[in-house]
Amino acid sequence: MESIWMSERVIIHTDLLVRSYRRFTGRDLLPGVERGLDLARRVYESPVVVVSHGIEADPVLNYGNATALGLWEMSWDELTCTPSRLTAEAPERDERARLLAEVAAHGFIDNYSGIRISKLGRRFRIEQATVWNLVNESGEAQGQAATFRQWTWVS
């Protein structure tokens, strides 16, 4: 079976993630690799969470690297059909919506923290997340993405 990161769709999406991150933050998501299969592999295998959703009315997750899949306790197929709002518990969803509106208006934010929930109902606090807009080369919105390296399981 082909690894997820080897599919053409994931290679193209990884390039979008990295280019958009650089465009809005001025930083490299993963320094040292520019494009293509090696970039897709490195982002997918990174110990830093990388996750994104599309632009649907109720945005659906369309990418999660191996670390994100493990944290949310989902397979690729499960994650990529999950509305992104369901990664937060109901009381946290208003704050999440406010955050995403701020990102849409300003391009990105740094140092976000909040409670999220895995498929199995385990809660965790993400810390120091960067959330950014995904835009194609024409500047058209393609979704939003997040990355973080710190999380703590909570009861």
Show me where the domains of the chain are located: 4-154
pLDDT tens-place string over residues 106-148: 899 998 999 999 999 999 999 999 999 999 999 999 999 999 9
CA-wise closest residue to 78 among 67, 92, 90, 64: 64
CATH T-level assignment (fold) for domain 4-154:
Beta-Lactamase (3.30.450)
1 pLDDT exceeds 70? no
| Summary count for the chain: helices (H), strands (E) | 5, 6
Phi, psi of 141 (to 5 degrees): -60, 135
The model's confidence at residue 2, banded by pLDDT at 50, 70 and 90, is low
